[in-house]
Every structure is written in structure tokens, then in C-alpha cells.
Amino acid sequence: SAVISQKPSRDICQRGTSLTIQCQVDSQVTMMFWYRQQPGQSLTLIATANQGSEATYESGFVIDKFPISRPNLTFSTLTVSNMSPEDSSIYLCSVEEGSGRAYEQYFGPGTRLTVT
Amino acid sequence: DAKTTQPNSMESNEEEPVHLPCNHSTISGTDYIHWYRQLPSQGPEYVIHGLTSNVNNRMASLAIAEDRKSSTLILHRATLRDAAVYYCILSTSYDKVIFGPGTSLSVIP
């Protein structure tokens, strides 16, 4: 299974600033995903990032707020822009392995963001 | 999107089997049933998935009802390390995994 690392593991940021989260995979993958997990809640999908194309955002998430880069098959970044305290969450990246519908997703350890 | 329904929480005694139920009455014929779990302060981890037949792996077993409208994740012998939130998910599209609230499993020593 893929091994995924994220940087930073946690950060405390001031409102109005931006933070870029990095996700590195130890193998080449086509699909990468970014999730948000607010305190005490389940995971919410932010966007799907394919290498070589624009990210596809879920309802309620926009590119201006959460720009995503996917420069190659092993790396992606998510930026949380113009942060407010409501952006305090854990942000996780994941990758998909498998074929057709019989796939599995593997997750990074997450980035814990606190906005003050 | 097809939805799943799980109990909010369950308790189990250590070293006893645990049966975690999931209802998915609107499942489509090609949806796979996936289970993930999230240990405290960690990202989710894949547990098991199946389509129609029961499945076993080193972590758990998945029992799927004949009409596929429900399934059960079976942990054969719960340990304290199995305390986690367990998510039952249908593959509602080719690429996305959409999480519901899941079942929070507590394991009592």
C-alpha cells in the first residue's frame, strides 16, 4: 500500500494568512484527494486532484479559497487562503489504489491547523 | 448518492467478537461496500471491501446480505487497539469516497 506523508503535521496561524500543506506519496498515483475534518466531525471531501488537470471541487469548496497544485504523480499541495477560525480543522490527503470500483484509499496522517 | 446508516456508537468487551452493522438499502448493483476505520489522532485506514460475497482478510470479515441492502463488519476478537470510528461507505462514483458519521467503537478491558 502507498505510504503518504504530509507537511506540516500541525500549525497555528493568524487569521487572514495562508498556509500551504504538502502531500508526498512514495509511489506514482493518478488520483489524489483532499479532505477536511472539523473537530468531532467526519471527513468532508474538498477536491479531487489529477495530475495534469485542474482539481475538481466539491460543493461548498472553491478554488480561490483552497487552491490545489498537482505538479507530478507523487506530490500535491493544498493552500488554505485568507484563513479564519472556521478553517481550524485537520486536513488530510489520500490516494487511490486498485482498478475499476475495487479500489482502496490510503490516507496521510493529516495536518492539524489552528487559526487564531 | 447511495447512503449508508450506521449506529452512532457501540461497545464491546475486550477479546469478544464485534459485529458492526451497516444498512444501505439504496445500493446500486455495481456499488462496492467499503469499510474504513479511524483510530484516535490518525488518518482513516482501509479495512475491507466487498461486492456480493463475504470477504475475509487479516483485519476483519465482511458479511454481505443476500439482497445487498445491509452488511456487517466482524472483528473476531476485539482488542483495545480496535477502539476507533468505523465507516461503512459505498463507492458512489468511480473515484470518490464519501464519509458518513460512522460508528464509534469503544472496547472495554
Asked whether B13 and B78 are in contact (CB, 8 A), the reply is: yes
Q: Whose grid coordinates read 468511480? A: B94
The span from the CA of B99 to the CA of B87, in Å, is 7
Cα distances (Å, whole numbers) of residue B54 to A82, B13, B45, B49, B50: 48, 25, 20, 9, 7
Over residues A52-81, the pLDDT tens digits come to 888 999 999 999 999 999 999 999 999 999
Burial class (CB in 10 A: 0-12, 13-18, 19+), B109: exposed
Over residues B68-85, the pLDDT tens digits come to 999 999 999 999 999 999
**DSSP SS3 for A20:** strand
Residue A105's CB is within 10 A of a number of other CB atoms, namely: 24
Question: Is the CB of A43 less than 8 angstroms away from the CB of B99?
Answer: yes
Over residues B21-61, the pLDDT tens digits come to 999 998 888 888 999 999 998 999 999 999 999 999 999 99
Q: A-chain residues within 8 Å CB-CB of B45?
A: 106-107
Give the pLDDT score at A99. Answer: 64
Give the pLDDT score at B92. Answer: 58
Q: A-chain residues within 8 Å CB-CB of B31?
A: 101
Give the pLDDT score at B18. Answer: 97
Question: Is the CB of B99 less than 8 angstroms away from the CB of A96?
Answer: no
Q: For B92, name the nearest residue in chain A, comparing CA atoms only.
A: A101
Give the pLDDT score at A58. Answer: 94
- Name the residue facing B49 among A31, A104, A110 (closest C-beta): A104
